Amino acid sequence: MMKKLIAVLLILIVGIGAVAAEGFELEAYGGAGIEMFYAQGFKDTRLSDYKHYPSNEGSLLLDLDDMNSMGMLITVQLGARYAVLPTIYALGEFSFGFLGLDQYALQAEAGSLFMFPMGFLLQNLHVGIGIKVGYFDFTKSLGRASILAGTTPPVHLRNIGTVKNGDIIEFVTSGLSLTPMADITLDLSNHLALGFDVGFQWAISLKSGLNARANKDSDPVFIPSDSGHFYEPTSGTPVEMDLNPVVSLTGLKANAHVMYRY
């Protein structure tokens, strides 16, 4: 997912640079902010290959109950925008949000912004309204895999891959976002400005599951939440991982940034 986000960001940068080369005003900015986050409906769950190997099962316990939480992600934002018309801007942004070293979100967004001067209130003040659409990827580390005693390692997931003792396990979800927003920009000089934007983000997850990898540099085995390999901790009852748990970035989103105008 990280590679996809970087690719999207590069496309945005190249596009903005190409337009700027035609003589449009380009503004680059960076800053920090906050973003709503919540996870609910998670319970401790077993990952098992019982469906295909009932007499030789491999299984491990996933400590998912700790994922249930609500709060604010601290975000770091980088972006650029250019004036396609004197008062209409196109923009592209990339942000990294974290709740801790083991829980973070990456997001790439593009949008448009209508800006108008508010000099009658304060000299060099501009206020804008706009909208952004984006793609996000959220990751929560679950530690290392430990195959349960009495079961047979590794966990063989047919047509998916294998999970071995000591593998790094992560819960991941990705999806799309839509954010109507308001922006306030105060020019400090011809080239430098301060900005603040606030909006309400709607986010929908399109794909969720687990990543299992031998180390941070190895390619992950992705186990979809609807794969049918998730069970209650002490029984063979399947857990509907694709229906019950929710990870969402829906809610308030705000950023303060410093802008340089070319």
Q: CATH number of the domain that 176 lies in? A: 2.40.160.20
Question: What torsion, rounded to 10 degrees, do the Cα atoms 9, 11, 12, 17 define?
Answer: 120
End-to-end CA distance of the chain: 32
Q: Which residues of 63-88 are buried (b: 16+ CB within 10 A; e: fewer)?
A: ebeebeeeebbebebbbbbbbeeeee
Report the distance separating Cα 216 and Cα 116, nearest Å: 47
Report the distance separating Cα 262 and Cα 84, nearest Å: 14
Report the distance separating Cα 253 and Cα 72, nearest Å: 9
Indicate the range of 119-128, 138-147, 166-175, 177-186 predicted with least confidence: 119-128
Q: Note down the domain range covering 164.
A: 2-261
Do residues 243 and 99 touch, judged by C-beta distance below 8 A?
no
pTM above 0.85, yes or no: no
The answer, yes or no, to whether residue 193 has pLDDT greater than 90, is yes
Residue 117 preceded by cis peptide, ω within 30: no
What is the domain count for the chain? 1
Q: Which pLDDT tens digit goes with each residue over 207-234?
A: 888 999 988 888 899 999 888 898 888 8
Q: Which residue pairs from 96-99 have beta carbons closer than 8 angstroms and sit at least 24 positions apart in sequence?
A: 97/35, 97/37, 97/73, 98/73, 98/74, 99/37, 99/69, 99/71, 99/73, 99/74
- Sequence-distant (≥ 6) Cβ neighbours of residue 208 within 8 angstroms: 171, 172, 173, 174, 224, 225, 241, 242, 245, 247
Look up residue 25 and give its amino acid: E
Q: Which pLDDT tens digit goes with each residue over 10-54?
A: 555 555 555 444 545 788 999 999 999 888 888 888 999 998 898
Residue 69's pLDDT band (cuts 50, 70, 90): confident
DSSP, collapsed to helix, strand or coil, labels residue 16 as helix
The answer, yes or no, to whether residue 78 has pLDDT greater than 90, is yes
Which of 229, 1, 236 lies closest to 96 in space, CA to CA? 1
- List the structure tokens of 64: 């998912």
Report the distance separating Cα 192 and Cα 4, nearest Å: 32
Do residues 116 and 130 touch, judged by C-beta distance below 8 A?
no
